Amino acid sequence: MEYNAVVVGAGVIGLSTAYHIKRKHPSSRILVVDKFNSAGQGSTAKSMSAFRCLFSSKVNYLLSDSSVDFYTYVQNEIGIDLKLAFVGYLWLLSKSEYEELHPILRGLAVSLKYEELEAEELAQKLHLNICLENDEEAEVLGLNDVYKGVLIPKAGIIDADCVVKFYEEEFLKLGGEIRYGVRVESLIVEPCKPLGLPGEPLFWQKSRISGVKTTAGVIKAKKTILAAGAWIPQLLDAVGIECFIKPKKRQVFAVEAKKPELKKLLYTQGFNSVGCMPFTILPKPRILIRPFPAEGVFWLSYADDFPRAFMLEEDPQPEKGFYEYGIYQVLVKYFPQFRDCRPHTAFAGLYEINTLDGHPVIFEENDLIVVGGASGSGIMKADAIGRIAAALYDGEEYAVLYGGRKFKISDLGIKDRRVEREKLQI
């Protein structure tokens, strides 16, 4: 029994892809497999669950903007609560960072609404420490004064689990199949025309990926779709296909807004209709603060680069010292409200970083479709990525994103890739 397609990975990318394929092919047999026991339990569950439409690259903007429009439609028109809230993104910038960002903002191929805020105004509204002069510790930490803020209104928070569940349910409603608790061990390579020779496929034979070997046996499919996030390169290396994706651990620390001054910060008025602080990015090193107003919590994170290893871990763990000697030290300099606050919980996941240019990678080779490399912004781009992968599955040249915008599929491929390096990765 051969499926039309087997999708490896029931994270947000895999399920969006499966849903968009099934939507166009209701009678095709599409199977999703995942090693976990339910949807979105891998890196999707470890996401900061936030979104922004500000990217320096037009492609990233398109992917995010159209996906956010779709999520808004799902929540407002279909009436499925994704816990999407436009709390905004607030970039706090040192003078040199502002001078870097300003031309990018002005040079955007698309006009994205944003607002510049003066440091003094932010200091007042957020009880933010904007001046670190004469602070020896801040100097050791290499911190700079806040010079300006840039607020992006089309940005905010969402619930990754709700998004995943939405795609899962819609996919199942259409008759899609999912098998949880099934781990893919390898891709199966077979000659297109088997001859029964030892060691097939031999290099002079045309060969293809004919399915996957799993802990529950072999699953054959006309097309195999690899949407396994940080696990993609391991499976691809085994068959010698390059995808330019590498896994890297990312950690999130949750701090409760118990103290009155923290509560006040979390529920800062005047930035959005939600009545909470925006998702906030500190000056370099760019500590991220994600407000969780419904739970009375802040999520704190930092995407460290050198010398953080590219490493695949089955169960990545947050590191206590990363908060205590890392995030906390920087955080309290700008937001003294956090003094003496320790996280009550923390988690870690894996980014699937596209090391070429910070964009997703979507291509087909030998009946294998690879969909990955979302580089930490998978939630906010998942709908567009799924539509593009589904259009590639159909052999189209262009995908139509939500809202009708057309997208050239090969721009995210390997061979004819056409994207500018993203300058606003955080």
Which residues of this chain interact with a copy of itself, rule CB under 8 A?
140-143, 189, 195, 197-199, 201-207, 237-242, 244, 246, 248, 285, 302, 304-311, 319, 321-322, 325-326, 329-330, 355-356, 365-366
Closer by beta carbon to a copy of itself, 148 or else 249:
249
The three-point CA angle 186-190-193 to 5° equals: 170
Name the residue type at position 226: L
**Cα–Cα distances in Å, from 357 out to 144, 293, 308, 380, 411?**
28, 33, 18, 17, 12
Least distance to a copy of itself, CB of residue 286, Å = 10
Question: Can you name the residues that pair with 345 across neighbouring β-strands?
Answer: 254
Least distance to a copy of itself, CB of residue 93, Å = 17
If phi > 0 it is left, if psi is from -120 to 50 it is alpha, else beta; for residue 366 that is left
Least distance to a copy of itself, CB of residue 328, Å = 11
Least distance to a copy of itself, CB of residue 128, Å = 18
**CA-based max dimension of the chain:** 77
Question: Can you name the residues that pair with 218 across neighbouring β-strands?
Answer: 213
DSSP secondary structure string for all residues of 311-332: ---SS----HHIIIIIIHHHHH
Least distance to a copy of itself, CB of residue 324, Å = 8
Least distance to a copy of itself, CB of residue 287, Å = 9
Question: Is there a contact between 19 and 176 (Cβ–Cβ < 8 Å)?
Answer: yes
CB count in 10 Å sphere of residue 237: 11
Closer by beta carbon to a copy of itself, 159 or else 367:
367
Closer by beta carbon to a copy of itself, 115 or else 242:
242
Give the number of C-alpha atoms closer than 13 A to the C-alpha of residue 176, restricted to the C-beta side.
30
**H or E element at residue 252:** strand 245-256
Closer by beta carbon to a copy of itself, 369 or else 384:
369
Closer by beta carbon to a copy of itself, 112 or else 189:
189
Closer by beta carbon to a copy of itself, 16 or else 425:
425
Nearest one of 182, 180, 223, 191 to 370, comparing CA atoms: 223
Question: Is there a contact between 283 and 95 (Cβ–Cβ < 8 Å)?
Answer: no
SS3 374: coil
Least distance to a copy of itself, CB of residue 203, Å = 4
H-only helix segments in 245-327: 260-266, 320-321
Least distance to a copy of itself, CB of residue 406, Å = 27
Closer by beta carbon to a copy of itself, 179 or else 286:
286
Closer by beta carbon to a copy of itself, 18 or else 252:
252
Closer by beta carbon to a copy of itself, 77 or else 305:
305
Least distance to a copy of itself, CB of residue 223, Å = 16
- Measured CA to CA, the distance from residue 236 to residue 416 in angstroms comes to 19
Closer by beta carbon to a copy of itself, 153 or else 201:
201
Least distance to a copy of itself, CB of residue 299, Å = 17
Burial of 144 (0-12, 13-18, 19+ CB in 10 A): middle
